[in-house]
Structure 1
Amino acid sequence: MKVLVVGGGGREHALCWAIAASPLLTRLWCAPGNAGIAEVAECVPIGAEDIAALVAFAREQAVDLVVCGPEAPLTLGLADACAAAGLRCFGPSQAAARLEGSKAFTREVAEAAGAPGARWKRFEEPAAAKAYIREQGAPIVVKADGLAAGKGVVVAATVAEAEAAVADIMESRVHGAAGATVLVEECLVGEEVSFFALCDGATALPLGTAQDHKRVGDGDTGPNTGGMGAYSPPPVFTEAQQRQTMERIVRPVLAEMARRGAPFRGVLFAGLMITADGPRLIEFNVRFGDPECQALMVRLRSDLLPALLAACDGELAAFDLRWEALHSLVVVMAAQGYPGAYAKGSEIRGLERAAQVPGVQVFHAGTTRREDGALVASGGRVLGIAAAAPTLAEARAAAYAAVDAIDWPGGFCRRDIGWRAL
């Protein structure tokens, strides 16, 4: 089979790494890819949001499967364009991708499906949002309705902080058009968990769980990021809670989307809060998480490619997945200054030493090769150091041993990934 993966981050490196191991694979491309992906796939200089060029390339090369990593191409209609061109695409249609493209749409669908979540209200005027915040008090959550690269959510400890978030999102438009509408939500109390389900429009198959670390600093301090690390599986999420999540959230939402004429195919990522009353929905994403994908892929025993095909072809009812009896942990290394302004072009050395630590796999997110062959940072989140081991403590020790083998003065990482479990 010939496969095209769309995207160029750590998630896409993990997907390419897993797909490259499939005996079904004959050729693998990634658009646009990165320096690490180039070691397992042929990188194509096409932007992830250039839908027309991606489809044209896939048709020219007679690609058997397009696998979309990021959310933006899906919300722009990549899967629909592939279908119109007679191409198979792993990922939801534009209509189904609204589950991530609009947080208000997610809340409406979840309510219609009876899925437990937070109390919420939608606002298109900042003054009304601020008045509601003053009425409700804090802590409270403020969300940009649209796509904001994982950074459009503020968990405000005070009313003043919540009002400032509304001003940033709606008045200063720090997230652009994504902030035209905001949601103000109840602040759920508990531990957050990322739950993934493989969906074919009618059937959902549990795909694993992870716990992400969103804030930039140790002890969950500082601003939100796209994710500074993850581990899988999180001990706070039990088998009983997984069954409850499937029965009360994932399957009812899948049925509601089908009822609306937008059946969901791909990966449904449920961000959950594990509360005293059980799992409650925070949000949906319509793709693998990043860095959660890296944590899942190093634990997956099954061939990923047939699973993706089964989701595309409506055959998940007769499918199952096998996992290694291992724990995994991913430490994200980011450029100094991230998630704010950061410098590009700093040289990274020592990845060969890092990769020699037993159980470690180094995934690239924002890297390029200079003409002299040197590896340099080209993004905010730059590397994902993943480790798998019999215990979470061993996985964490291996990941940080690999981090310490890397020579990159221009980078930093959190030193407490997995702290809630350990």
Structure 2
Amino acid sequence: MDILVIGGGGREHAICWALAKSPKARTIYCAPGNAGIGQIAEIVPIQVHEFARLTSFARENKIDLVVVGPDDPLVDGIVDAFEAEGIPVFGPRKNAALIEGSKTFMKDLLKKYGIPTAAYEKFDDYGQALAYLRSRPVPIVIKADGLAAGKGVTVAFTQEEAEQALRQIMVDKVFGESGSQVVIEEFLTGQEMSILSFVDGETVRPMAAAQDHKQVYDGDKGPNTGGMGTYSPLPHIADSIIEEAIETIIKPTAKAMVQEGRPFRGVLFAGLMITLDGKPKTIEFNARFGDPETQVVLPRLKSDLLEIFLAAVNGTLAEAEIEWSDEAAVCVILASGGYPASYPKDLPITGLDAAESDAAGLVFHAGTAKNEAGEWVTNGGRVLGVVGLGRDIAEARERAYASAEKIRFEGKHNRTDIAAKALV
């Protein structure tokens, strides 16, 4: 089969890597891809929002399956565009991707169906939002309604910080129209957990649980990023709690989407908080594979990813064979200096060959390119995801950091405490 993967980050590199292991995969294309992905897939220089060009490419090249990675094109209706051309595509339609595209929609859906989540209020008027904010205690959470590249959420620990975040979202429009509405919700404390699931309507097939590290600095300090590292499994979280999250949050949400006339097909990503009383609550839902969660979840998948995608597209997901390895995986993100704010590009990267030759690890490219001399250079905020594999989290973590140390570029920074919570 010939496959087109849409996207160009570390998540898409991991997807292409997993698909390449399938005996059914013939040619894998990736649009727009990146230099690292180009080592295993044919790069197609078409951007993710060029729907007409993408559908034409798929039609002309007789693509058997399209897999959509990023959130923006899903929310904008890329799946609908491929379906209109009769091209098989894995991912949710526009009306289902709204579960990520609008936090107010998502929160209202959970409230309507009694699905556990943090208490909240929504606002489209800055004055009303400010008045409400001033009436609430801190810490408090302020979220832009729409997509904001993983950076539209502020956990404010002071009133001043909260008001600054609200002003930036609704007045300064730092996230554009994504900040036309905001959700202000209670601050939840506890352990965060990510559960990604293959979903086809009411059929939910959970993947291995993972935990992300959003803040840029050690100790969960600093601004939110797209993710600075992940690990899977979660030995410090009981299987009973994971099962409770699946039964009380993920499955009811999939069913609610069907009842709302928005059946979800694709990957439903639940960002969860296990509160101090041991109960899981919903922080967010995403409509696609997480980044960098994918980089630790797919290496643990023993089954054929292409077969799973096809089962979801064909409506046979309930019968699909999905088996997970007991092996642990830890991913450390190597970021450019200045990320998540402005950062330089085109800085030489050394040590990649040494890191990629490590049999106990993987390197997924997120923001890399090759210059005219054929040398690796930086081309993004999150540059590389270095994954260590091992018998347990401790071994996988040691291997991830050992590989990460081999890679050098000016301004490189990474958290040093990824997966430390699992070792306490």
Q: TM-score, normalised by structure 2?
A: 0.98
Aligned to 1:44: 44
Amino acid aligned to 2:75: T
Given the alignment of the two structures, is residue 400 of structure 1 paired with residue 401 of structure 2, yes or no?
Answer: yes
Confirm or deny: 8 A CA contact 1:336 1:411 kept in the other structure: yes
Aligned to 2:140: 140
Aligned to 1:82: 82
For 1:409 and 1:225, locate their aligned partners in 2 and report how far apart those are by CA, in whole Å. Answer: 20
For 1:134 and 1:407, locate their aligned partners in 2 and report how far apart those are by CA, in whole Å. Answer: 46
For 1:414 and 1:273, locate their aligned partners in 2 and report how far apart those are by CA, in whole Å. Answer: 21
Residue 277 of structure 1 deviates from its aligned partner by 4.4
Unaligned runs of 5+ in 2: none
Q: Which runs of 4+ in 1 moved over 4 A?
A: none
For 1:405 and 1:164, locate their aligned partners in 2 and report how far apart those are by CA, in whole Å. Answer: 40
Unaligned runs of 5+ in 1: none
For 2:106 and 2:237, locate their aligned partners in 1 and report how far apart those are by CA, in whole Å. Answer: 23
Given the alignment of the two structures, is residue 374 of structure 1 paired with residue 368 of structure 2, yes or no?
Answer: no
Give the stretch that moved more between structures: 400-409 or 25-34: 400-409
Given the alignment of the two structures, is residue 296 of structure 1 paired with residue 297 of structure 2, yes or no?
Answer: yes
For 1:101 and 1:160, locate their aligned partners in 2 and report how far apart those are by CA, in whole Å. Answer: 28
Aligned to 1:410: 411
Confirm or deny: 8 A CA contact 2:100 2:147 kept in the other structure: yes
For 2:337 and 2:266, locate their aligned partners in 1 and report how far apart those are by CA, in whole Å. Answer: 34
Aligned to 1:363: 364
Confirm or deny: 8 A CA contact 2:241 2:278 kept in the other structure: no
Amino acid aligned to 1:252: P
Q: How does 1:13-412 map to 2 (within 5 A)?
A: 13-275=13-275, 276-412=277-413
How big is each residue's C-alpha offset from its partner over 1:114-162, in whole Å with a ceiling of 9 and x where there is no partner? 2100111001112211211121211110000000000000011122211
For 1:389 and 1:220, locate their aligned partners in 2 and report how far apart those are by CA, in whole Å. Answer: 25
Give the stretch that moved more between structures: 166-175 or 229-238: 229-238
SS at match of 1:149: coil
How big is each residue's C-alpha offset from its partner over 1:348-383, in whole Å with a ceiling of 9 and x where there is no partner? 011111123331101000111112110111111010
Amino acid aligned to 1:359: A
How many residues align? The count is: 422
How big is each residue's C-alpha offset from its partner over 1:369-405, in whole Å with a ceiling of 9 and x where there is no partner? 1121101111110100011100111111111111111
For 1:113 and 1:46, locate their aligned partners in 2 and report how far apart those are by CA, in whole Å. Answer: 40
For 1:332 and 1:407, locate their aligned partners in 2 and report how far apart those are by CA, in whole Å. Answer: 13
Confirm or deny: 8 A CA contact 1:349 1:408 kept in the other structure: yes
Q: CA RMSD in A?
A: 1.0
SS at match of 1:227: coil
Residue 409 of structure 1 deviates from its aligned partner by 2.4
How big is each residue's C-alpha offset from its partner over 1:199-246, in whole Å with a ceiling of 9 and x where there is no partner? 011200011211101011111111110000000112243221222122
Identity among equivalent pairs (%): 49
Amino acid aligned to 1:312: V
For 1:99 and 1:27, locate their aligned partners in 2 and report how far apart those are by CA, in whole Å. Answer: 32
Confirm or deny: 8 A CA contact 2:196 2:270 kept in the other structure: yes
How big is each residue's C-alpha offset from its partner over 1:44-96, in whole Å with a ceiling of 9 and x where there is no partner? 00001211111111111111110000001101101101111001111000000
How big is each residue's C-alpha offset from its partner over 1:397-422, in whole Å with a ceiling of 9 and x where there is no partner? 11111111112223211111112112
How big is each residue's C-alpha offset from its partner over 1:302-335, in whole Å with a ceiling of 9 and x where there is no partner? 1110011111111111123111111100000011
Amino acid aligned to 1:288: F
Residue 341 of structure 1 deviates from its aligned partner by 0.7
SS at match of 2:96: coil
Aligned to 2:3: 3
Distance 1:278 1:320, change over 3 A: farther
Confirm or deny: 8 A CA contact 1:202 1:314 kept in the other structure: no
Confirm or deny: 8 A CA contact 1:144 1:152 kept in the other structure: yes
Q: TM-score, normalised by structure 1?
A: 0.98
For 2:9 and 2:43, locate their aligned partners in 1 and report how far apart those are by CA, in whole Å. Answer: 12
Confirm or deny: 8 A CA contact 1:140 1:162 kept in the other structure: yes
